[in-house]
Copies of this chain bind each other. A is one copy, B any other.
């Protein structure tokens, strides 16, 4: 038994955190440029930290309430494992820490990147990318740390003579700390998303459209808020989102592994199956660090060169994990290791396919976005119509990729091309490990994501500080690269969320099993027969709970799940609308009361705009978040386990497709505008440009608020169901 391989996990965690600290100190040692650059950076930094403080206040209250509820459920009602409240808290804490460090780094890096770009493009790229890598490495480092600590603690404390049962208890308990991460991520995504788009839309509507001043103009009072928004939405929000997918996929897969082998009473293989996803994640982290060092470029690099530079790093990490995971699994001695390795490869490839499809549908180099721009010749209405239509059509590739990928991963891990009840547990484990495979190189893929807003802010800083044109050109090149990586990053985030949610859905059954045993049940009824719970097959479980598609509770759950996705988007989109309206009023007020601002003679009140976005986000983030937490619980109370399964399936499928649609429509509108700005169809200032600006504004809450928030919704609803499985077992109305 190769249990010592587990120690790779804490080792990788420390390695990641060490390199994060290294990149951070190196970045901090760089000069921040002129006094004006420093001042602007200081404004953004303060705004970002002020926002984060507010967000964490709201989060702290919500966490306190939920922790008390969980403690009551665990110690008062005995409906739950006694570790849950603590696991929940650490999950939230570590996710919050990751967001904090990532954003701190990003806000320190922006001016330094602008300064580095004034030396050379390569210096700028490296600094921006390695600052982004701090986020990537902190996320994976803290995630692996949390996993390692809990795994060791629970192994020590959980007393159970039956090793299979012990393993299942440990993994299902650990899964609950995913809910802490999930809830933290929800606030980060929803709050950050509302903040950033309220500022962006507000800044554009008054600045660009009414006052006719360019983007990032220091005369616009909302411009600092806009730059703060990039950090809180795209850095902290994206980081928390992927932290959750990462942790969720590893823990769900561990629980599925424990379950698959507990059924056939093979605890030795069970242990291997539990640590396999952790070990894969650990070695992926090491390869991510190698990949990060491979990213550099030359002087006078073109856009293609820059893209290749990033691609080189990611490809290197992927190839290394592709090869190494085979040998690790073989060494671990997991049964059917070749098939499980196949599932990992399928996960990696699925991620790449989704990324490429996103690029195709949202980049102005390809037909779909060019067609949307072409529609600008007949006005904004046709831009919107074609953007919506194209976004809807673009869902086909990611969905088919996930369907094909899931089928392959299932069959490879199950070791059979026919779906049979006997191999179902291993097949589901394969789906989980495919998600782990997709996320194994998160250290570097997340670095690419966090790079985007850093480059964007560097550009903003250079513009506001009035740096010379050749520097602006370099920061523009870096920024433009960031737009491409942002779009593919969104696709990747959605795809991995979908696979993770699938794995979570499957592991919900394991939580039910534990909850039933916890409640003193030893057998369950399947068609009049008493079947021992611990050795029941998945089919028997589902038959016992009547989770089939003719049970109206299941179907109505699916309806509610689909509705939840839309409601959630509607709430967040309207929240952006309201917050943006307040921003518009504030900017108009400042222009009106201090006419000197527009002439460049008077200083706008940046802090006020930051405060408005903060307040808007804080006020608007609570309702959608509470809805996401309450719906699975209420559905469970009314319709029981079948209703919850339906809710999760409906929410997952509709949420996934809707998220892809929104992200791609938004991305395509953004780039259709860029396409016109590059000089096509009349270029800047033409009627076509105005039409595409309207498209871009509509797309803002789509791609940066509602769409990404859905990633969390689909995972959080599963997490809440997992954590409240005890309640579902104990009580149902119908």
Query: A685 to chain B: closest CB distance in Å?
Result: 17
Alpha-carbon separation in the docked complex, A538 to B550 (Å): 8
Alpha-carbon separation in the docked complex, A549 to B553 (Å): 12
Main DSSP-derived SS at the A contact region: helix
Alpha-carbon separation in the docked complex, A577 to B402 (Å): 30
Chain B residues lying within 8 Å of A65, measured Cβ to Cβ, are none
Query: A484 to chain B: closest CB distance in Å?
Result: 23
The 9 closest A-B pairs by CB, nearest first: A392-B570, A542-B548, A389-B573, A393-B570, A381-B697, A389-B574, A562-B653, A399-B563, A549-B645
Contact of A393 among B547, B554, B571 (CB under 8 A): B571
For this complex, 6 residue pairs linking A to B, each with C-beta atoms less than 8 Å apart, are A205-B378, A382-B581, A388-B698, A393-B571, A399-B560, A549-B646
CB-CB under 8 A for A559 and B419, given A385-B577, A549-B645: no
Chain B residues lying within 8 Å of A395, measured Cβ to Cβ, are 563, 566-567, 570
Alpha-carbon separation in the docked complex, A657 to B568 (Å): 13
| Contact A392–B569 (Cβ < 8 Å) | yes
| Contact B428–A698 (Cβ < 8 Å) | no
Alpha-carbon separation in the docked complex, A379 to B360 (Å): 30
Contact of A550 among B506, B561, B694 (CB under 8 A): B506
Contact of A431 among B552, B646, B653 (CB under 8 A): B552
Chain A 367-388: CB-based contact to B (< 8 A → 1; otherwise 0): 0000000010011111011101
**Chain B residue, CB-CB nearest to A539:** B546
| Contact B581–A424 (Cβ < 8 Å) | no
* A156 CB-CB contact with B under 8 Å: no
Alpha-carbon separation in the docked complex, A407 to B642 (Å): 14
Alpha-carbon separation in the docked complex, A402 to B552 (Å): 11
* A336 CB-CB contact with B under 8 Å: no
Residue from A205, A384, A386, A565 whose CB has the most chain B CB atoms within 10 Å: A384
Query: A548 to chain B: closest CB distance in Å?
Result: 3
* A543 CB-CB contact with B under 8 Å: yes
Alpha-carbon separation in the docked complex, A571 to B388 (Å): 10
Chain B residues lying within 8 Å of A547, measured Cβ to Cβ, are 548-550
| Contact B581–A403 (Cβ < 8 Å) | no
Chain B residues lying within 8 Å of A399, measured Cβ to Cβ, are 559-560, 562-563
* A390 CB-CB contact with B under 8 Å: yes
| Contact A657–B527 (Cβ < 8 Å) | no
| Contact B570–A390 (Cβ < 8 Å) | yes
* A555 CB-CB contact with B under 8 Å: yes
Residue from A384, A386, A418, A566 whose CB has the most chain B CB atoms within 10 Å: A566
Query: A260 to chain B: closest CB distance in Å?
Result: 13
CB-CB under 8 A for A559 and B698, given A421-B546, A427-B552, A549-B554: no
Q: How many chain copies?
A: 2
* A209 CB-CB contact with B under 8 Å: yes
| Contact B402–A698 (Cβ < 8 Å) | no
CB-CB under 8 A for A375 and B577, given A543-B539, A549-B542, A562-B656: yes
Alpha-carbon separation in the docked complex, A553 to B414 (Å): 14
**Chain B residue, CB-CB nearest to A645:** B549
* A410 CB-CB contact with B under 8 Å: yes
Alpha-carbon separation in the docked complex, A393 to B567 (Å): 5
Chain B residues lying within 8 Å of A563, measured Cβ to Cβ, are 395-396, 399-400, 657
| Contact A734–B538 (Cβ < 8 Å) | no
* A661 CB-CB contact with B under 8 Å: yes
A405-456 interface (Cβ within 8 A of B): 406-407, 410-411, 417-419, 421, 424, 427-428, 431
Query: A453 to chain B: closest CB distance in Å?
Result: 22
CB-CB under 8 A for A694 and B380, given A539-B543, A554-B549, A558-B653: yes
| Contact A380–B380 (Cβ < 8 Å) | yes
CB-CB under 8 A for A556 and B386, given A548-B547, A570-B392, A584-B378: no
| Contact B653–A559 (Cβ < 8 Å) | yes
